[in-house]
Amino acid sequence: MQRTADAAHRGLGSRLENVRQQLQSCGAVMAELVEPQSRPLVSGALAKISQLTVRVAVVGQIKSGKSTFINAFVRHPRLLPTAVTPWTTAVTNLHFAQAPPPDGAVRFSFMNTGEWRELAKGSRFPDLAEGGAPGFEPRDLQLEVNALAERARQKLGPEFEQLIGRAHLFNALHPGLLEQYICSGEFSGSDSYGRYADITRSADLYLSGGPFAFPTTVIDTPGINDPTLVRDEITRRSLGAAEAYIIVLTARQPLSDQDVALLRFMRGLNKDRVIVLVNRIDELSDPPEQLPQVLRFVNDRLAAEFPGARIPVVHGSAWWATQALTFEPSAVAKTLTRPSAAHLFRRGFLQQGDADPRALADPATQARVMQALYAMSGMPALYEAFDSLINTTGTAFSMGMVARGFADMSRACEQAAEAELKILLADRARGRTRNGNPNGTGSSDSPAIHSRERELILSVSANIEASAKMIEEIFSRVIGEEQAHLRTSLLNIVDTYAARERKIVTDSLARGASATTWTHEGIEVRRALSDAFRAGFEEASQRMLAYHAHLIPELFKLLQTVVPAPDIPVPQLKSLSIPVPASIPLSRMLVLDLDRSRWQAFWKRASSADQAGAKIEALIRSEFAGVADELATSAGRTFHDFASTTIGWALGACRNIQLALQRRLDRLLQEEGHPENTPSRVDERISAQAQRLKDTEALTAHLELLAREIEGIFKPGDQP
């Protein structure tokens, strides 16, 4: 209990925020130490970490209490409308710990013609005519989109055309505003409800307060019980923008056999970035008796659907959390008269008489009841799980990459500073020898030495650039090979499954079974694709890291000809794992009603059960081949991002050393024989360079600690 209270008090993501602030501070110092040509690399990394945001999507069944939960989760108990079911296609983004844009803290963006057209395509149904199912016309989604547009046109009249593709901006929320944009209004009995809902694509609210220390965006997705195709497609797309997920179930019907849509969506997520909340335990008539059964059922179902995954399951009541946050004595008194409130008394959180309205007027009783409701709401446990979950996200990984890049660059600055200091000391020694003339030579060989060193550095620089280009080409080839290999393995799974499904359909039709409705969720193939994708990605990432460990040091070895030292700053990525991207394509829906007219025609064109089965096989292959392509492409994109980032930092560190030495030698050549180049001036430069070396040594030490800290925080993902 103390841990959860401390986590909430610190703010969610406080460890990440602390690291980010330190990285920003160190980066600002390093920007002054690196060569001017290296500053864009540092400033680009600083800009990147300043824009990092944890994006968490909340997905839930309709009537699971999702809106009430979000309000309690973000500590704005009256934010989202809960009195009416939203039932719209809008995605609501709640931004916390982020500065609002200059044009307003509240933005409602409307669909434009192109977005409606793209949504109607759905990216779920490829050209099935080419895939062996002639005559198939996926018009359902188009019809729904057209109906949506027509309903909006009737509501808005001439205003409809003026609003398409535009947005409404406000400086702040005011009562009733959200209801106009994100509530359907079909059952509200109010003309103002849902006025713009049918054309609203997204709502973006920049809010103060909340429990977040690190910038966080909470994404409220459309409910998904028996979803329309439009809501299904929009929810799927919004999940692609998130990197952490909270699944809200209702204690009365958690993960029922009919809830295939929710399970399908979950198959597209990284299982180590998911928290499941069993909400509405306040509606159970006997929580001590029923709750263990509900939780056992949920855990068993998750274990069966997602073997090996460790998905935390939290139970509670968003309603109780809301009562604790708002604490209206009359409402709390009613809450404590429900049968489920007996759970609070049995657990010892409340005393006899606390439910009496007169007792609730006492501040001490209020504090006790408030604490009891909040403790049993599940919110503290959810905060603790979420605070741990965000350490597995791509945001944490990106910060780790920047921390390691900064540490490597700082070490390069340190090495360059030490090499510069040696050049200055050697030049001073030659000058004193010449002036004292102990050997009787009386001639200066410094310009010749500096010229030779400069030519060597330029030669090494050309080799470094050529080697970096070669490494990029090798990585590109390897990534292409790994992506193709992964795609082939996924397609093999699709082919095997499609052939088996063909046999099932063919045998069924041959026996005279009626083909009225064929609901094809592809549970087994989705699970097989998910497992194969994760395993294939992890194997490929290990090969990527092995190539990295072998190739990147070659760049730094080239520097040893001009900077002979055992501690050339070769990047260290021993503890790094590349996080597995989400498998969002696996959440596509394929539910086909074979009783509709076009499918009746489809069957009539099939002269035999074998022919019908062949067309079904082509349909499945066409659908899931697209899924395999998207998964392989996402893997390739992740590997390319990793390669370009690590090669960029390695090349930047090498260039920084080369440029620093080149700059120093150029300056010495320019000042050779200059009257102001007195011994005292040389001593001043040596002293300044020695201080620069000390500064870079301190910065490197701090960044090394910081890199190890973020590597300790980050828990690479999706490991069973």
Same domain, 486 and 570: yes
The alpha carbon of residue 117 and the mean position of all alpha carbons in its chain are separated, in whole angstroms, by 27
Instruction: Please check whether residue 96 lies inside any domain of the structure.
Output: yes
Instruction: Please check whether residue 531 lies inside any domain of the structure.
Output: yes
Q: Using one digit for the tens of pLDDT, what is the confidence trace for 603-636?
A: 555 557 787 778 778 878 887 888 899 999 999 9
% of the chain beyond a pLDDT of 70: 80
Give me the pLDDT at residue 690, please: 92
Q: Mean pLDDT over residues 140-157, rounded?
A: 76
Least confident of 279-283, 579-583, 591-595: 591-595
Same domain, 385 and 458: no
Least confident of 55-69, 81-95, 223-237, 651-665: 223-237
| CB contact at 8 A, 532 and 489 | yes
Same domain, 387 and 483: no
Give me the pLDDT at residue 247, please: 93
Instruction: Give the CB-side neighbour count of residue 714, counting CA atoms within 13 A.
Output: 26
Neighbouring residues of 568: CB distance < 8 A, sequence distance ≥ 6: 415, 556, 557, 559, 560
Same domain, 209 and 97: yes
Among the candidates 360, 392, 424, a domain finishes at: 392
Among the candidates 367, 392, 417, a domain finishes at: 392
pLDDT at 302 over 80: yes
Give me the pLDDT at residue 639, please: 94
Go through 638-658 and write b for each residue having 16 or more CB atoms within 10 A of its CB, e for each that does not.
bbeebbebbbbbbbbbbbbbb
Instruction: Please check whether residue 273 lies inside any domain of the structure.
Output: yes
pLDDT band at 282 (very low <50, low <70, confident <90, very high): very high
Instruction: Please check whether residue 565 lies inside any domain of the structure.
Output: yes
| CB contact at 8 A, 166 and 150 | no
Instruction: Please check whether residue 16 lies inside any domain of the structure.
Output: no
Q: Using one digit for the tens of pLDDT, what is the confidence trace for 113-134?
A: 777 666 655 544 333 333 333 3
Least confident of 239-243, 475-479, 561-565, 599-603: 599-603
Same domain, 384 and 509: no
Predicted TM-score (pTM) of this structure: 0.85
Give me the pLDDT at residue 112, please: 82
pLDDT at 176 over 60: yes
pLDDT at 595 over 50: no
pLDDT at 498 over 50: yes
Instruction: Please check whether residue 415 lies inside any domain of the structure.
Output: no
Same domain, 129 and 259: yes
The alpha carbon of residue 720 and the mean position of all alpha carbons in its chain are separated, in whole angstroms, by 19
Q: Which residue range is the domain that position 204 belongs to?
A: 53-317+378-392
Question: In whole angstroms, what is the distance from residue 124 CA to residue 261 CA?
Answer: 15
pLDDT band at 601 (very low <50, low <70, confident <90, very high): low
Instruction: Give the CB-side neighbour count of residue 263, counting CA atoms within 13 A.
Output: 20
Q: Using one digit for the tens of pLDDT, what is the confidence trace for 369-402?
A: 999 999 999 999 999 999 999 988 889 888 888 9
Reading the block at residue 690, the tokens are 């020695």
Instruction: Please check whether residue 3 lies inside any domain of the structure.
Output: no
Q: Mean pLDDT over residues 352-375, rounded?
A: 88
Same domain, 459 and 385: no
State the CATH number of the domain containing residue 305: 3.40.50.300
pLDDT at 433 over 80: no
Instruction: Please check whether residue 278 lies inside any domain of the structure.
Output: yes
pLDDT at 146 over 70: yes
Least confident of 190-194, 244-248, 425-429, 539-543: 190-194
| Closest by CA position to 631, among listed 547, 524, 536, 520 | 536
Same domain, 382 and 531: no
Give me the pLDDT at residue 9, please: 65
Q: Mean pLDDT over residues 57-65, rounded?
A: 84
Number of structural domains the chain divides into? 2
Same domain, 484 and 594: yes
